[in-house]
Amino acid sequence: MKFQEEPGGCWNVAHFADTLEKFDLSEKSNWVAIRYVLTNGASCFNEADGKGKIIRELKLATIVYVDEIKDNWCHIHFFEKKPFSVWVQNKDLNGL
């Protein structure tokens, strides 16, 4: 994977735009895009409407895997200590 530009974030984050980077994933999935979070504290919801409780917030430059786009919402998967699957607003992710 190689980004066209740096996603930003902490000063001590590895530079992705300089070289190709290898990422290993544990399972095969049908994603429509791999994107990163543009805003620190991007709100995550169980549904694509923003009406429910915010179930977590994502940090700036978190890599996410999009499997569905619905209006202005993206259904994403991301991995921390365990995998998560949530909805975020499209505006909180880098452009396609």
pLDDT digits (tens, 9 = 90+) for 63-89: 999 999 999 999 999 887 788 899 999
Does residue 22 contact residue 2 with C-beta atoms inside 8 Å?
no
Residue 7 belongs to a domain? no
Q: Output DSSP code: residue 42.
A: E
Give residue 53's pLDDT: 94
Residues spanned by the domain of 70? 34-92
Question: Does residue 29 lie in a domain region?
Answer: no
Tell me, what CATH number does 78's domain have? 2.30.30.40
Q: Is residue 69 part of a domain?
A: yes
Number of independent structural domains in the chain: 1
Beta-carbon neighbour count of residue 53 at 10 Å? 7
Does this model's pTM top 0.85?
A: no
Residue 64 lies in a domain: yes
Task: Kindly state whether residue 62 falls inside one of the protein's structural domains.
Answer: yes
- Model confidence over 14-69: pLDDT tens digits? 555 666 656 566 666 678 889 999 989 999 999 999 999 999 999 999 999 999 99
> Is the residue at 72 inside a domain?
yes
Burial of 15 (0-12, 13-18, 19+ CB in 10 A): exposed
Residue 13, in any domain of the structure: no
